Amino acid sequence: MTGLARTADPSTKVLVILDSEQHVPTSLLGLQADLQLTSTSVAAYSYDADSCNFFGYPVPFSDLAAFAPYTQFARAAYCPTSKLTNWTCGAACASLPGFQPTLVGGDGNLVQIYFVGYWPAQDSVVVAHQGTDPTMLLSVLTDANIVKGSLDKKLFPGIPSNVQVHSGFRDAHARTAVKVTVVGHSLGGALAQLDALYLSLHLPTTTSVKARTYGAPRVGNEAFANLLDSKVSDLKRIHNKRDVIPIVPWPFLKFMHAQGEVRILSPGTAIACSGQDNDIDLQCQRKAVPIIAAGSILDHLGPYEGIRIGTIFCN
């Protein structure tokens, strides 16, 4: 495998050799020193000789650490609504001082808990959804009889009928749909993707929509993934190690992930995977966890850079 490292000067190119596991060699640091490059000015990319495409690259530690506030929002969505209303949900709320919840709802059963509020630190409205018990979600998502359905024309105007999503996610979103930064873990991550599309269709085009999801399953078909990519340019789907939830529902059922995969390999180390549902790079989720038996349900709960997400971690 070969890769290309670029400096801030686009005229300078450096060829980097990656090992069989596609890790950036430590010699790259020496190369940076020799060329007097800053740590952020070199990026190493895996390269597929057959398709002539770059398909994965290490995520800088600073970028990985920057996900922490979004992780805490996703964590907070598992807390009781009484604690979210006053923003007193323990460590998650304490890590996000100044956040002002304006709408809190859901019961954690029929309707997933959700909250909406203003985040002064980023001058952004935040929409967050609770997830669900991963063992229950996994059993639902591995059902070969999963039903896909078209999106509600009233909520998603102008969307062609060939855009289809998991009918359960669609119905759950309709019960909670109310700049937006949308976050969610597990089922909440699926709802956050629908939120991102919904808001991109209803807000002025000058409004940016950012989505950060954790351990989200596939939501819809290829047409849905294409549409989401075309409408929401700032989407990051964060997967932790061998989490099994992101690999379902199965591709043979015509489900597909949108772009934006970031897979945590170990604390402080992650890879960004190019394209939709990357099935080339051995370090991306689809190749690394090809079947349920190769995965871990515990990785679904984290840690996401030291932060675990789930009802038991709301403290």
Instruction: Name the residues annotated as catalytic.
Output: 186, 243, 300
- In this structure, the number of other CB atoms found within 10 A of the CB of residue 52 comes to 7
Which DSSP state fits 8?
Answer: S
d(CA 78, CA 309): 8
Closest CA to 194 of 214, 176, 215, 207: 176
The CA distances from residue 307 to 69, 145, 147, 244, 303, in Å, are 10, 34, 33, 18, 5
Contact 80, 304 (CB under 8 A): no
| CB count in 10 Å sphere of residue 223 | 17
Strands of 261-266's sheet in order across: 46-48, 53-58, 269-273, 261-266, 234-240, 209-214, 180-185, 124-129, 114-119, 100-105
